[in-house]
Structures are given as structure tokens and as C-alpha cells.
Amino acid sequence: MSVPNDSQDDPLFKPQNPESSRCFGFLSKVNKERGLSLRSYLDLYDWSTTHIDLFWGDVWDEVGIIGQKGNHVVDEAAAPAANPSWFHEARLNWAENMLSCRSKERLALIQTTEPTPDSPNPPERQVTYAELYDTVADLVSALHGLGLHPGDRVASYSSNCFENLAACLASTAIGCIWVSAAADFGADGVLERFEQVQPRIIFSVDAVVYNGKVHPHLPKVETLLSCLHDRCSLQPKVVICRANERNSENLPNGWQSWENFIASGRENKLGRTRNGEIEWCRKGFDWPLWILFSSGTTGRPKPIVHRAGGILLQAKKELAICADLHPEDIFFYYTTTGWMMWNFLVSGLSLGCTLILYDGSPLRDPAHLWNLVDRLRITVFGTSAKYLDHLSKVYKPRGRHDLSTLRHIYSTGSPLAHALFDYVYEHIHPGVLLASITGGTDICSLFAGMCTALPVYRGEIQCRLLGMAIETFSPEGVKTAPGHAGELVCVRPFPCMPVGFWPLPGFGAPQEAVEAAAERFRQAYFAQYKHVWYHGDHVLITPSRSGNGGGLIMLGRSDGVLNPGGIRFGTSEIYDVLAACFSPPPIRDSASTIEDALAVGQTIEGGTDERMILFVKLPAGRTLSIELENKIKAEIRSRRSPRHVPARIVQVQDIPYTLNGKRVEVLVKKIINGAPISNINPATLRNPECLAEFARVSGTLRGEVD
């Protein structure tokens, strides 16, 4: 079906001089070197997805990858399901490319922490590129001293701090595989990840700051270590970073403080050349760089293995060519170390940017992050759609802050509602490039997102990114036309496709485990359409305008798509109406305010149809009235269609979210269709206690349709 498009014809942002952008500079080089006459972004995009070998080879040269390139790029005839090898003659090291800048003046990072009552003005840590390199060199030697080898897993259970970043760089410098879990994960959630990958060493912190409080972290680390020993006889080395509580001398037996671990590397100088330089372990393009995990809300988290060369090349394309970032940029992304946006942020080092590492809550004081923008001169501000949604209800940065350095705002994690585009341009910055971006943990990069050469239209992601052959398919596998919703697929191979799920062949795992992982990988991405990559997002590609080749409107996850009466539509269509009509800032206490909502489908008529149930969270003390219920239905009917109107609207106390801030529609859908809560993994949720209310409501809802 055709999905209503609330976008306006006039763009919210227009680049002043698109021909001066890095993207058009790259287009000019391609024209000159390939004898072409490409004129628009669409021309360049079409060429990049039909000549993937030439395009990705040219990207390598354009962004200055450090390493041996070779002559091979990729088999042009291969289908995505073949997961072909890329640059099989190449030799490179990801960390070497991150640390190509060695300046003693340029800042590599600034670490800042949320204030607490005991530390209302916490000190900020500034680290130059030269200092970062020296620390990584000492860590390389310390890791060699433990006898680590390429392919060994090094894990982190840490906050977003300097030590965590340095440990990642040092581990990958010697060819180890990085595995990260955020400090806000419970020990059970980390256990089910780490037991799959068997790390040799774990870096952690003694405490974290959140909501104005210091939270001890060592008890969670101890629980994790005890469970790893009991479940799989694993006893990894442990290094505790940052010593917030200055209790390094009281660490359990066998654990080391960060300071002592660094000192051991400074003494032994292993893995260093005669002049003290790091001996980079250059491996093939497809060598495993890190393992990221799926959310695991309905099953064991999937260990997704990403190739070093693919992550490097893709990130450099996104940040240098598409986003046009420069060494002068001050790059901030609000993220934990367990979200792929941390990996995205770290890639800014390869351009010589200054990264802002923040530990703490984003909204306890809504002004705090915007004060950071002014004080630290942030130019690129990354966050989640959920943060912008919360912020829009309580705060208007424009007029209270300078924000003159800000040029980009990135949003991801969930679809950015149309009304939030208006909020950003009206109440944050009228001249900023607002880039809603989409990709995911599966590819640790982007399918669609930002381009400084293109305008921004309300409710749309700017464009499909270069080299990513994105289309939309019907459930039957037929390509849908622009303006019609479908399943997001990628019909050509791309270099940041995962190598597979862990364990991979050649790393010592039993053959049956390797084969099971390979089959699980196939089922995840290639079972739906067999030959092309199926991503699991329900989207709409808009008709091309301004030469962009069509933007994207995200309609929700495919497994959460609603289908009442055979009419398919995404949940974001419902959320956009609610955002526009029932939570316009700053009506916090209005009788028409809806704080949050969740839409799911409930099976009816013996499984042959479904009805939509809309759960709403209202401000404290408010009760869902007949008047509000009728108003919700009327607005949805008017702005969408009668088919979009929920069959039932149910008030709940809270809406469940994953630890990374995503609504968990699929879990609630399972519950209201009869699945027991015992089937759900609570370690993956931020607020699992709220599921009990949905379980209680499910009996009533199922009784209505039985």
C-alpha cells in the first residue's frame, strides 16, 4: 500500500554550496579518472551500486586507508548471500588507521562526567593524539606480556571512558577481537554474551555515574566472573580502570589496577620496534575486528563478527565523504559502550577529530549536554530519537544556549518522528543539518543517512548511502515502487557485511558449532529472500527530488508491522500522529498529553486476521478518558485512514524498552497473544518489571476475541 507522507515540499535545510562538499569533490574525481559525466548525487549513487568493485576501490584511495591494497576488490557477480571476500590481497590494521594522527597539540578526546552532589564540577580529562598513542603502545606491550595472540578475544564491561577506548585500540592493534558490554548491563546479560566468545581478559571500571549518583560496579564484575567460572570454567584476567573510589589496593586476588597493568607494559616493551613504535599486526581485510551482539530479547544474543577492513572502509566513507567531517570537528555521540554508536564515534579518530566521551545521564539536567556543546565547542552532536522525544517535552535549547559551533545533529535508534524534525529546527538550531540515520548492530554502520550535499526534508532520512544498493521488497519478493512501503533489502554485496556469527572456522571451535553458527547467520539475513540481504526494517523510499535518489521514511521493524484486515503499515505511522497531536512541547500537564505509547497486533479469527492494540502511558495522576480515547482515534483516522485506527486503547503504567532505548514491540505482541513471561530474557530490558502489567491485560484482551 502507499503510505501517507507528511513531508513538506520545502526542505528544512539546504546546503549553501553543495558543489564544495566532499561528496561532490569525490564525484569530480570519479568523472576525471573513469571518463564519466556524473552530475548529481543520484548519478553517483547509481554508479556506486552498479560498479561496486570500482566504487569501493576508489573509496579506498579517496579516504587514504593505511595498508596494502592489492588489485582485488570483490567478485562483481556475487550475490549478497555468498558473502564474498573483499580485497583479498589487502593487509591492514584498524587501530593503525585510528592512530595515524600523532599530534602533541591536537586533542584526541575529552572525557567528561555527569555532575553529582559530591562533585558538582567534575574534572574533565583531555588527551592529545600523542598521549593516546603512548598509552596504547604501553597497553600493547602489557597485552603481549599476558601472551595474547591474534584472534584471542578481549572484552570490556565498562563505561564510556578513556581507558576503555585505549584498551580497544591496543587489543585490535595486535589482532585480538574486541567484545564490549555496557556497564549498565546486568551481570546475567553480560554472561550470556561473554560465555559465547570466551575472552582472555576483561577491562572494567570500579564505578559509574548516572542520574547524579556514583554506582559501584565491582560487585557486578565479581558476579560475572563467578558465573563464567561456574558455567564454562573460564578465568579471564581482569583489569580495573579509573579507580573512582581509589580502592585499587583492595582488588580481589588476580585482578590488576589499570596503573599497574600500564606499568608492566612500559617496562617490558613487547610488541614494539627499536624506536618504541607499535608493531602493528596487519591482517587480511576480512579479519575479525570486533563482535557485537543482537539485543537477545527473544533468544540468546547473536554474536555478530565484523571484518576489520569493512568497518574501516565503510566508516571512512560515511564520515569523510558523506558527512564531510574534518580534523577540526568536535564529535559527540551520547552512547554507552554496548551500542554500535560507540563504535561509530570511535571511527572519528581516523579523521583526526576530537571525540567527546561522556559518562552519565543525558536528561537529569536537560541543559547539561547543551552546556557541553557551548563549552567544548561541539560541532557534531549525536543522540537517539528517544532522547529528542523526551527533550522536546521539557526543554528548548535555542535561546538558552549559544550553539553557534553546531553544524550536524545525528539521530538513530528508532524512527525520528516528523514533529521532532520541527522541534529541532524551531527549538534547537535553524541552520543545522539534522540527519536521521539508519543501519544497525548487524552491519555496525549505515544503510541510509547524512550527506552534506543534499537538503533535509521533514520526516525523511536524506538518502541511501553510496555503495549500499538499498531497495524495498514486498513479502513475496517483488520490488516495490518509490512511495510504496516494503521490506528493506540490500541487493548487492557491501564490505561491512559481517563475516558471520561466532564461532568462525579456523578459531578452534568444534565443527558442529561452526556449522550451527553459519546456519544461524543464513537464517538471520538470507532466509526471507534467499539471495539478498534482508534487514528487518519496514520502510518507504520516497520519489527522488533534488537529485537525492529518494530519501527513506522508517516505518518500524518488520516483525512489528501491523496488518489489520490485510493492510500492512508500520507502527511509526501511529507514533507520528501521537507525537504531533498529543505531546506537542511543552504541554506537559495537558489532559491531552500522551507520554509514551506502544502499538502491537493481536491475532483474531483463528489467526487469519489481527487487530491493533494501542497501549498508552499518561502523565502521573491522569486516567484514560472516553474523550481522550475518541480524540486519539479521530486524529489517527483523519491523518492516516480508518484501517489505522486501533481496535482497543489501553492505559499502562510504563512502556518496555531495551537497554539501548528501543521499544520492545515484539515481546509485548507475543505476550498479548499468549506467550508466558518466562520465555522472555529480562537481562536485555531497561524496565522488565513493567511486562507483568501486559501479562495481566493479555488475559482480558484474549478473552475479547476468543
Rounded distance, CA 164 to CA 337, Å? 9
pLDDT band at 5 (very low <50, low <70, confident <90, very high): very low
- Length of the chain (residues): 706
- The continuous run of DSSP H or E covering 42 comes out as helix 41-50
Provide the 8-state DSSP code for 594: -
Q: Tell me the average pLDDT across 439-447.
A: 96
Full DSSP string of 381-429: EEEEHHHHHHHHHH---BTTB--TT--EEEEESS---HHHHHHHHHHT-
Task: Identify residue 531 by its one-letter amino acid code.
Answer: H
Q: Does the pLDDT of residue 88 top 90, yes or no?
A: yes
SS3 (DSSP) at 449: strand
| Tens of pLDDT, residues 255-300 | 999 999 999 999 999 999 988 899 999 999 999 999 999 876 656 7
Q: Tell me the average pLDDT across 305-318.
A: 98
Q: Which of 6-15, 239-248, 382-391, 527-536 has the lowest mean pLDDT?
A: 239-248
Averaged pLDDT score across all residues of the chain: 92
Q: Does the pLDDT of residue 244 top 70, yes or no?
A: no
User: What grid cell was written down for 526?
Assistant: 538470507
C-beta separation of 307 from 286 below 8 A: yes
pLDDT in the model for residue 235 = 93
Residue 27 CA neighbour count, 13 Å, CB half: 21
Q: Which of 144-153, 240-249, 556-565 has the lowest mean pLDDT?
A: 240-249
Rounded distance, CA 518 to CA 490, Å? 20
| Tens of pLDDT, residues 541-564 | 999 988 899 999 998 877 777 878
Q: 592: buried, middle or exposed (CB in 10 Å: 19+, 13-18, 0-12)?
A: middle
More confident residue, 587 or 684: 684
C-beta separation of 240 from 257 below 8 A: yes
Q: Does the pLDDT of residue 402 top 70, yes or no?
A: yes
| Tens of pLDDT, residues 472-518 | 999 889 999 999 989 999 999 999 999 999 999 999 999 999 999 99
Signed CA dihedral, 48, 53, 58, 61: sign only = positive
Q: Does the pLDDT of residue 2 top 60, yes or no?
A: no
Signed CA dihedral, 449, 451, 457, 458: sign only = positive
Q: Tell me the average pLDDT across 356-376.
A: 96
- What residues contact 610, with CB distance under 8 A and at least 6 apart? 562, 563, 564, 601, 602, 603, 604
- Domains by residue range for the chain, with CATH: 559-704 (3.30.300.30)
Q: Tell me the average pLDDT across 392-396.
A: 94
Rounded distance, CA 630 to CA 614, Å? 13
> What is the reported pTM?
0.88
| Tens of pLDDT, residues 589-640 | 567 889 999 999 998 877 778 899 999 999 988 999 999 999 999 999 888 8
pLDDT in the model for residue 4 = 42
